[in-house]
Amino acid sequence: MTAAPGVYVRGTARVGGKTVFGPLDLSAPGGEWTCILGPSGVGKTTLLACLAGTADGVVLEGAAGADDGRPLAGRVALMAQSDLLMPWLSALDNVLLGDRLRGDAPRAGRAGCLLGRMGLEGMEGRKPTALSGGQRQRVALARTLIEDRPVVLLDEPFSALDVARRAQMQELAADVLSGRTVVHVTHDPAEAARLGSRTLILTPTGLREITPPAAPLPPRRPDATETLALTGRLTRCLLDAA
């Protein structure tokens, strides 16, 4: 993997003349984990779509891209709330989807290894319908990882999981995604407080940065004093914005 570039979205996004977000200036520094919180319908997912290049029908008056000047296409991976697994493929084949679409030799060994690391050993042959929600999310994470892209966009990936599973997945993700530029959209202040090296709140009027404590470094313990304090501050900001 090459050094992870920082990414930015500047300007205003409109769909059919209606403003979805902006004007704003979001920049996520390279190799860091940026969390974006905000009420529903404020354009968080559209923001990620602008970075991913999948924002069909969205007019961005401004720019989105990487700060190293090269195009982002092909350097972005996305993990969404719905796991986006193909129901007709086994877990292993889902992880190998990118290889197949590129026409590369499928790296079955590497995929199996990643699935094993996600605690899915022996489940490679199962179809998504035979996996639990948490297991499906872990398959999706394995697929995100095998792509080895420097920029990873997360769109509420853990919101469907129970508390313990979510904490586990957060730690796993923080571990395996370290060194990459992560833009993480979430509804959960506690999640942002655990994972973000930067935490931003997106409201209809724009972005607001809440500076996390310098120590401890993410992933912070869910019940550490600093995490709880940051959770409180983020919650207060969200309540004020509503």
Partner 1 sequence: MPKTLTTETLPESAPEQSAPLNTVPLRRARRERILSFVMPVVMLCAAIGFWEFQVWYHEIPKYLIPAPSVIAQTLVTDGPSLMASAWFTVKLTFFSLLLAIIGGVILGALFALSRPVELSLFPFAVILQVTPVIAIAPLILIYVDSTFAALLICAWIVAFFPILSNTVIGLRSADHNLRDLFTLYNATPWQRLRYLLVPSALPYFMAALKVAGGLSLIGAVVAEFVAGAAGQNTGLASRIIESSFRSEIPRMFAALVLVSLLGIAIFLLTNWASRKVLGHWHESELQRES
Regarding 152 and contact with partner 1 (CB under 8 A), the answer is: no
Alpha-carbon gap, residue 134 to 71, rounded angstroms: 33
Binding of partner 1 at residue 1 (CB under 8 A)? no
Name the minimum Å distance from CB 84 to partner 1.
5
Both structure tokens of 46: 């559209």
Under rule CB under 8 A, residue 90 binds partner 1: yes
Out of 17, 69, 103, 109, name the contact with partner 1 by CB under 8 A.
103
Residues 6+ apart with CB under 8 A from 199: 34, 35, 37, 192, 193, 209, 210, 211, 212, 230, 234
Integer Cα distance of 50 and 219 in angstroms:
27
Decide: is 122 part of the binding site for partner 1 (CB under 8 A).
Answer: yes
The stretch among 63-71, 121-129, 177-185, 226-234 that binds partner 1 (CB under 8 A) is 121-129
- Chain center to CA of 39: 17
Q: Which residue has the tokens 């996520």?
A: 28
- Residue 139 near residue 120, CB atoms below 8 Å: yes
Choose the binding region for partner 1 from 58-66, 118-126, 160-168, 190-198 (rule: CB under 8 A): 118-126
Residue 100 binds to partner 1 (criterion: CB under 8 A) = yes
Q: Which of 156, 162, 221 is nearest to 188 (CA)?
A: 156
Closer to partner 1 by Cβ: residue 54 or 205: 54
Residues that bind partner 1 (CB under 8 A): 49, 52-54, 73-74, 76-78, 80, 82, 84, 86-90, 93, 97-98, 100-103, 105-106, 122, 124-130
